[in-house]
Structure 1
Amino acid sequence: MAGVEPDHLRFNILGTLEGWAGGTRLRFGGSIQERVLATLLFEPGRIVPVTRLVEAAWDEEPPTSAAHQVRKAVSELRRRIPRGAGVVVTDDPGYRVELGDGQLDLNEFADLLRVARAAVSADRTAEAEAALRQALALWRGPVMAGRGGRVIEAAATAWEERRLTAAEQHFELRLAHGEAAELIGDLRDLISRHPLRETLRGHLILALYRSGRVAEALEEYAAVRSLLVEELGIEPGAQLARLHEGILREDLELALPSAEPLPAPATAVPEPGPADRGVCTLPYDLTDFTGRDEELRLLLEKACEPGGEGTRIIAVDGMGGSGKTTLAVRAAHRLADHYPDGQLFLDLRGFTPGERPLQPVVALESLLRSLGVPDEQLPGDTEERTALWRVAVARKRMLILLDNAVDASQVIPLLPASSGCLVLITSRGQLVDLDGAEWIGLGMLAPSESAMLLAETLGVERTAAEPEAVAELAELCGRLPLALRIAAARLRNRPRWTVAHLVERLSHETGRLNELSTGRRSVTATLELSYQALSAGGRAGFRLLGQHLGTEIDVWSAAALMGTSVREAEDLLEDLLDAHMVQQYALGLYSFHDLVRSFARSLPGDDAGGEVPAGRLLPYYLGATETACEVLFPDRLRMDVDVLVPSASELPPLRTAAQAMDWFDREYHTIQLAMDREGDLADPACVVRLTRNLAFYLYTRSKPDEQVSQGITAVRAARRLGDQRLLCLSLNNLGVAQWRVGRFRDGIDSVSEARRIARALGDEVGEAMSVGRLGLLHLDNGELAEAVRCLEQAVVLRRESGYVAGEADSWANLSSAYRRLGRYPEAVAAAEKALRVNRRVGVPDREKPAPNDLAAALLGMDEPERALAVLDEHLTPGDEARQTENHALTLALSAEARQLLGDAERALRDADRAREIVGRSGVRLRASEVENITGRVHRRAGDPARALSLHRLALDHATALGYRAEILDALTGLADAAEELGEKEEAVAYRERARVLAAELGIGEGAAE
């Protein structure tokens, strides 16, 4: 930041938090620094206590070191902000920010509102309208993009209210001066976000009425009245009611005012000149220009704002093919009448296939010749030509469109000095050294805009015939205007092709870019120019990042993939972001446009020495998952990680359970893709340990099918490695996964092999684990006696091996086996033992199965009050996302207990909710249990028909899995429901089947009932 003048410092908070030092974007660090700075910026010049900054940074759960971390965050901000010690000032008991004029958009917004109020009071409506327009233009979205936390959100709400009030007054002034139809779109957009604002609704109704759309005005009143009645239970206010009555009476006072149109303030764009507008070299305006309505509106609005002393510069940036030139040309034609002395266009060829960027001396020659300067009067060097150019356009009102700029040094000599000129610039990246420019960024078209563009270029009839294929074509083209136009051109040239046929051809990524080429236009050629503009290191990094399998890329995985430091990876990603080669939708996360990713993967060679990218990613993901699992599952068995993994500084900061789970949620799919692609080629030791870590997450998030797939991968890698201890562990974990999807016999085979290996190795922990899991598998396979034998042995073995958490699991499963056999007192004792052991371990999430087992046993002993007390203690709100199936079972058992205690309404609601949750979980093992319980609840509630339906579903699910214990419960429930419905023969048949199955399971007839 050396050399940056303090008056060039600028902070913007009305949208995403931004800081600028001259043309350089400041990076503040992490979210803590951003929240601290934002809180200070909301109260410029005032002392903000440290306690408030702590609350803003962490909401309601600050760490014990929060005050110290706030001080560290302030220190970091001072380091990152030029002369930061003079900006963020210590002032007991906290800090304050000291800023001057023009350094904070929030201050400018407040100042402009004061100007507007004074102008209204003095009846200077043109000045008031201009001030309000400028004030509203400062807003770029919700404060901190809506991610500021509770304290910042509270402060932002007050400013958002002032923004809405200003918008309402702005519309009111424009209505008062004769505008109507042109306001409707903006009013509808604002109302869609604030539907209960009656003043906005009134402005829209009046604008519709004055535009001759009386029926729509009345419909709008009916819509807002209905909404207010439904949402708030009130009728529209007096102002809306009077407006409605006036429209019905055709009140002349509502007609267009007789006042003159809103006069422009003194500094506004001049009125159009005579018909002869001087020289014009603008390209033709596309007749099928489609989309970009918001960007065009913003560009025109900026062009018509009051200007300062110098030339107004508006620049449009975006990736190649995003339609920058088309938008700028459309805007230039719209603005042409305001610049009667000429409208000049110059292609600077910054990214033109086969050509080099135009040098300023050559560009100036072209501009001067456009003004009629003869060759003999053209100076030789750049400085003299710049001076002549500025003299030639002095005191003129001209529009200059400089297209396809490569950098600021190419543009600066071409800028006129006249305050009456407007310069439009297009470039692929923001020209950070171009001071005073207002930037408009172009992203992808919206889906509706993409469909409109295809309809305009291809024909409405052809697109209307295949609407689904058109939508898919737009997505395959990445909603990029250039790609969409090329696709439309291919279809126009091939009238026998359907849209669906082109979609099928584009579905293959390897050939997609070849398809998006026609004539001289090519997506590949457009992207190639942006790629070649990168440095050699940037190109190598871009190619490697193209091999990343994630939809989003964070700086840590990028660093691992490229073999660089995290800072170097972030710098490269930021460079690519500036060049629009990547996108950023959240802080610290980057992504490729689909076509850019395809382009990156099509590039040959690898400057990094040919190393397989996943060979770098898998060790990184092993290190990161180890960190996450240490936080989330601290009671798991420890395993030595004899694989070289990145250091802690090269891994994401996963210090809390929320951070670790959020990281897993975002990354697990990418890890799976990397394992699928490279798992058989990578270091098997890394694969085994990584799949084990992933299994913990998949179990917690109830993803059983993925857990089986990863378990198979781990076993395959352990066999390849030849490590019997790891193979034993992997087979045990696979057995658990197979149990969760109901593949009991496969699970018994896997765990039996693990037990044989453990015995051969003398591995007491491995054998104890195997015996316990065999007991669980035999239990749910209906082999109850063998299950009890294994589980009783497992309790002893696990205690002797020292794995206390495993002992608790065996006690819980033993409780379930005792209950299935009708041995309820023993079931209660075993479950209570499991709970006591779990509490000793101190990991709450491990308690989930044990409370369910205890409650089920207590219900079997007809003690619903005790059962409900146990369940209520462990039924935590918000648990649906973790171990979803266990949460569903807890809720179902709670419903049954509540019903037995007389709370019938709550019981039915909870039972149905439990069934909905277990259906989402994908764990088929628990579905039949929850359906059987829900069936019993509905039967007791007097709905045997519903109960019959639920028990049939349970029977189908349990039969498909071979889950014989639940088959027995389903048959018993079917018999009871059929009997209540008067279907005696069916009831007898169900009871006979239940009796036979109970005998096979070793359960007495009474217990089966």
Structure 2
Amino acid sequence: MIAAVAGAGAITTMLVGLVTNAVSAQSHWPSWLGWLQAHPWLSFVILGVVTAGLTTLLTALGDHREPVQRPEPAVRPDVGSGPPGAALVLRSLPRDTAAFTDRSAELESLVRSVRAAQETGEALLVHVIDGMPGVGKTTFAVHAGHVLSERFPDGQLFVNLNGHTAGRSPVQAAEALASLLAAAGVPTQQIPVGDDVGAITEARAAMWRSRLADKKALLILDNAASYRQLEPLLPGGRDCLVLVTSRKRLAAHEEVVLPVEALPSDHAVDLFVRLSGRTADTLDRDAVEDLVRLCGYLPLGVSLLAARLRHHPSWSAGDLHERLMAARDRLGELRAGERAVAATFELSYRDLAPERQHFFQCLGFHPGTELDVYVAAALGSVSAVVARQQLEALYDAHLIDEHPGSRYRLHDLLRDYARGLADGGDSMAHVQAVQRVCTYYLAALAVANEHIVRSGSTVPPSAGDAGHVETPVMESRTAALGWLENERPNILACIRQANGFALHDLVVRLAESMAPFLRQAGPWDQAVGLHRTAAGAARRTGDQRALAGALAELGVVRRFMASYSEATEALNEAVTHYDAVGDRSGKADALNQLGIVWYLTADNDASARAQTEALALYRELGDRLGQANALADLGMVRRQTSRFDEAVEAQSEALSIYRDLSDRYGEANSLRDLGIVHSLMGEYGLAAQRQREAFDIYKALDDRVHQAYALNEMGVVQRLIGDLDGARGAHVQALEYFTELGERFGRANSIRHLGVLDRLSGDMPTAIRLLEEALEAYRDLGSRGGEAAALSELGVARGIVGEQDGAAEAFRQSLEILRDLGDRCGETELLNHWGALLRTFGDPTAGRWRFEQALVLAQDIRCPLEEARALEGIGRCDRVIDGPDRAEGTLREALTVYRQLGVSASADDVERLLVSQTG
């Protein structure tokens, strides 16, 4: 039908054109079209008939089209306008519950389906467990997971998607994927980030599918809102089992639906008897049957009723029945879908002591989905000891679930009920509860930050009124990071709730306190959302200092994401606001970060100005860590512009301060950069020593990313002194680390260095393949310096295999970038390579001109290795142009420099050439 419409439309369009031009005498139409040109009025008739026919066809289509299906509710994409969210992911299944009752038919169906697929090698289908609230979907999924766990040895993951959780928006797919990838062991640096929610969702989903491609894992997606929400989370492998729970049927493809209905009457009675602590012969069977009928045969309601009877030994089943009937009368206005268990909630709640009732109400206000003793204490305004007692009592009464790690969670229906009870009282109760839990998190974050913030840095302050707040013990960096990862979803949920209640000061302080963790742990797009929210809150209150702090953090994270223009914009605005309030320390920090961004974008003059200004401010303030940071970053700018003496001076002063402050991380960074400078200056022994010292510190800090960077620099030094095997070992180990950790820039460096080694070893095909791979990676990352280095080496390799034009083009592109960057050392190396190419292909005069350019630069920046290479090149060109006598002096100069540097292989080559001349 669509084809018919399209065809008719095309004919109509053609006829309109023909008829419009039918009387044109400027051209003659071919074939049958000439007949139309000769009979224009008949053409109008044909056009009218076709138009009428098309109209009739479209009308018929409109009258008989299929009913439009209403799309399922979509999970609204998070476009970054609101506070970020995070998914709660358990790395193992929640505890199996004693309340599970006989679901033998459903369980057998699931086990049979899984067993059949595994035995035949077929792909495991998604199993959707649906049913009404309180029917036991999650309990069934968890129990089935425990039964099947041995069939999935590569792990079990449980994700709460908050599809119907009171006070929480459904988890976005991108959030859930980030949490799943982290839980599966993917380093946060490797998790894709960006501003395009759709793009990063696709990228994370692809990585997730790849991660589980050859695994046998079990994934429970609990409380799903729609198929659209969970579809990106589905593994691509054939051997992973996915169990989905939802309150409604999801339109999943290739699914197996396992409807979980209310319990059969006899099963509900058996569950009641088992949980009541009574024997069947001591209970009135008719009363029990009516009790389970009144709560809709739902396991949640049955377990609550049984718990009431167990806690009242003097009650009979008839007494419980009487109380339940009274509760149903009081709750008659509840929605029909919840009425079946609402009376059991009321009965259980009325059975609590007044202080426990209040505590239960407060739990309903928790913005997160899980809580521990300390959060509960903050919500209920009680001590941790009392909170623990209350939580244990509520768990015993089946009013709260326990998760691994002494963590607790309210069932969604119980959360609704608890919040409804509290909302019926003081309208400020919710706001005050959120204020209390945010104050607790500020205090706990201050404890955690003591372990993760670098020595000498300012730790974000605790809440001013947090002196009485109890916090968990965190005795190590590992413990602090573990606590932060567990609490991340809850803290971000608190920030969302605080933002909704216009608690702007709390939003700003929580964002500031989470910043050190998110800088390190990511994902950085989550941090961007957080700092944008904080900036918005600060703008509303007119707090320029807080606004500057949020913008500065936003700029730092944008730098991590290589979004340099956005980073510059945020940091420039931060400097302006710091200036406005006279905050010189904040301004210095922002300038330091601006200098780093300009260094990365090769605006070396601007970078040097920013670091120099920041250094002056730090000195005025007596901030020694700030001084060290600015000096170290200034040293890197000086190195990049080949001002090696100034680079050594700045970096050495930074190193001294870092050592005084016992800042091991800063010390290692300065040592590593000093090693690079010494290598460029031809001081290879000192360069190797500095890199080894840096590597040892990184190893002590368990920083594998920077260990890998040090390994690459060690490999470069080993290559320059002729130890190719040692160099290869270092680069291979670095590559393994970078690949494992997802550090793309470092990985590209390792690949480039290995390509150079293959070129020196004579394996040109491998060398070219690796250098092209490195070049592509640098371009993807936007690293112009890396691109220039790869192009330079690729030109050498192409020249060796006879591709003169390809080599020259690579050199041309590299030279253009290097001159834009102001990298004179890189330019010198490239000019030497280009001179060698021209000499090899029979143009020694042009080659000599390139070598002369290189010599001038090398002597100007004091780069002895490139000076020796230039001298050697000039001598070899002179030997061809004017004969051996003209070349001897220059070649001997090159030999002397090579011997001084300890570059034995090159020195031996020159010496053999000189011997051959005299021979």
State the TM bucket, normalised to the shorter chain. 0.5 to 0.7
Contact 2:96–2:139 (Cα < 8 Å) also in 1:
no
> Superposition RMSD on alpha carbons, in Å?
4.4
For residues 701-716 of structure 1, the aligned pairs below 5 Å read: 701=521, 703-716=523-536
Amino acid aligned to 1:467 = L
Contact 1:559–1:568 (Cα < 8 Å) also in 2:
yes
CA drift of 1:658 comes to 3.8
CA drift of 1:893 comes to 2.1
Amino acid aligned to 1:753 = E
415, 434, 439: which is aligned to 1:600?
415
Aligned to 1:743: 563
Contact 1:744–1:777 (Cα < 8 Å) also in 2:
yes
Relative to the length of structure 2, the TM-score reads 0.53
Aligned to 1:892: 712
Contact 2:548–2:574 (Cα < 8 Å) also in 1:
yes
Contact 1:322–1:481 (Cα < 8 Å) also in 2:
no
Contact 1:768–1:794 (Cα < 8 Å) also in 2:
yes
- Is residue 468 from structure 1 mapped to residue 125 from structure 2 by the alignment? yes
Contact 2:96–2:142 (Cα < 8 Å) also in 1:
no
- Is residue 454 from structure 1 mapped to residue 189 from structure 2 by the alignment? no
Contact 1:880–1:888 (Cα < 8 Å) also in 2:
no
Contact 2:535–2:550 (Cα < 8 Å) also in 1:
yes
CA drift of 1:603 comes to 5.4
CA drift of 1:946 comes to 4.5
Rate the CA distance shift 1:563–1:576 in 2: closer, same or farther, 3 A: same
Rate the CA distance shift 1:648–1:871 in 2: closer, same or farther, 3 A: farther
For residues 590-669 of structure 1, the aligned pairs below 5 Å read: 590-592=407-409, 596-597=411-412, 599-601=414-416, 604-607=419-422, 609=426, 610-612=429-431, 614-633=434-453, 635=455, 638=458, 641=461, 643-647=463-467, 650-669=470-489
CA distance in 1, matches of 2:472, 2:509: 19
CA drift of 1:776 comes to 1.0
Q: Which digits, 9 at most, give the CA deviation of each residue in 1:597-645, with x for residues without a partner?
A: 5653565514384414543332221111112223432645547848444
Where 1:987 maps in the other structure, the secondary structure is helix
Aligned to 1:306: none
Where 1:989 maps in the other structure, the secondary structure is helix
Aligned to 1:984: 804
- Is residue 914 from structure 1 mapped to residue 734 from structure 2 by the alignment? yes
CA drift of 1:555 comes to 1.4
CA distance in 2, matches of 1:455, 1:470: 11
- Is residue 566 from structure 1 mapped to residue 384 from structure 2 by the alignment? yes
232, 236, 247: which is aligned to 1:512?
247
Contact 2:373–2:384 (Cα < 8 Å) also in 1:
yes
Contact 2:129–2:141 (Cα < 8 Å) also in 1:
no
Amino acid aligned to 2:124 = P
Rate the CA distance shift 1:462–1:634 in 2: closer, same or farther, 3 A: closer
Rate the CA distance shift 1:982–1:709 in 2: closer, same or farther, 3 A: farther
Q: Report percent identity of matched pairs.
A: 24
- Is residue 1006 from structure 1 mapped to residue 663 from structure 2 by the alignment? no
CA drift of 1:756 comes to 1.8
Moved more, 915-924 or 716-725: 915-924
Amino acid aligned to 1:512 = R
For residues 794-813 of structure 1, the aligned pairs below 5 Å read: 794-813=614-633
Aligned to 2:851: none
Aligned to 1:194: none
137, 142, 145: which is aligned to 1:477?
137
496, 499, 511: which is aligned to 1:691?
511
Amino acid aligned to 2:138 = G
Rate the CA distance shift 1:581–1:603 in 2: closer, same or farther, 3 A: closer
CA distance in 2, matches of 1:501, 1:568: 31
Aligned to 1:55: none
More helix by share: 2
Aligned to 1:717: 537
Gaps of 5+ in 1: 1-316, 328-448, 486-498
For residues 122-161 of structure 1, the aligned pairs below 5 Å read: none
Where 1:620 maps in the other structure, the secondary structure is helix
Amino acid aligned to 2:422 = D
Contact 2:684–2:717 (Cα < 8 Å) also in 1:
yes
CA drift of 1:787 comes to 1.6
CA distance in 2, matches of 1:998, 1:748: 23
For CA contacts below 8 A with separation 6 or more, give which structure has more relative contact order.
Answer: 2
Amino acid aligned to 1:666 = N
Amino acid aligned to 1:695 = A
- Is residue 525 from structure 1 mapped to residue 345 from structure 2 by the alignment? no
Contact 1:560–1:617 (Cα < 8 Å) also in 2:
yes
Q: Which digits, 9 at most, give the CA deviation of each residue in 1:670-703, with x for residues without a partner?
A: 3234334544545322222322222212333464
Aligned to 1:86: none
Amino acid aligned to 1:562 = G
- Is residue 778 from structure 1 mapped to residue 434 from structure 2 by the alignment? no
Contact 2:443–2:469 (Cα < 8 Å) also in 1:
no
Rate the CA distance shift 1:673–1:975 in 2: closer, same or farther, 3 A: farther
Relative to the length of structure 1, the TM-score reads 0.48
CA drift of 1:517 comes to 4.1
Where 2:562 maps in the other structure, the secondary structure is coil
Rate the CA distance shift 1:791–1:943 in 2: closer, same or farther, 3 A: farther
For residues 372-451 of structure 1, the aligned pairs below 5 Å read: none
CA distance in 1, matches of 2:221, 2:459: 52
Contact 2:439–2:466 (Cα < 8 Å) also in 1:
yes
Gaps of 5+ in 2: 1-94, 146-219, 231-243, 250-258, 264-295, 308-344, 832-919
Rate the CA distance shift 1:481–1:658 in 2: closer, same or farther, 3 A: closer
Rate the CA distance shift 1:521–1:897 in 2: closer, same or farther, 3 A: farther
349, 353, 373: which is aligned to 1:555?
373
Aligned to 2:100: 322
Moved more, 519-528 or 691-700: 519-528
For residues 847-866 of structure 1, the aligned pairs below 5 Å read: 847-866=667-686
CA distance in 2, matches of 1:1006, 1:929: 20
Contact 2:225–2:246 (Cα < 8 Å) also in 1:
no
Contact 2:665–2:698 (Cα < 8 Å) also in 1:
no
Contact 1:915–1:934 (Cα < 8 Å) also in 2:
no
Amino acid aligned to 1:571 = Q
Contact 2:555–2:567 (Cα < 8 Å) also in 1:
yes
Aligned to 2:635: 815
CA distance in 2, matches of 1:542, 1:743: 46
CA distance in 2, matches of 1:856, 1:526: 71
Where 1:611 maps in the other structure, the secondary structure is helix
Contact 2:445–2:513 (Cα < 8 Å) also in 1:
yes
Rate the CA distance shift 1:584–1:523 in 2: closer, same or farther, 3 A: closer
Where 1:470 maps in the other structure, the secondary structure is strand
CA distance in 1, matches of 2:689, 2:796: 28
Rate the CA distance shift 1:538–1:945 in 2: closer, same or farther, 3 A: farther
Where 1:467 maps in the other structure, the secondary structure is coil
CA drift of 1:784 comes to 1.8
Where 2:138 maps in the other structure, the secondary structure is coil
Aligned to 1:152: none
CA drift of 1:548 comes to 4.7
CA drift of 1:749 comes to 1.0
Contact 1:322–1:482 (Cα < 8 Å) also in 2:
no
Q: Which digits, 9 at most, give the CA deviation of each residue in 1:165-224, with x for residues without a partner?
A: xxxxxxxxxxxxxxxxxxxxxxxxxxxxxxxxxxxxxxxxxxxxxxxxxxxxxxxxxxxx
Rate the CA distance shift 1:579–1:683 in 2: closer, same or farther, 3 A: same
Q: Which digits, 9 at most, give the CA deviation of each residue in 1:942-971, with x for residues without a partner?
A: 555455444444434443444323332232
CA drift of 1:564 comes to 2.3
CA drift of 1:528 comes to 4.8
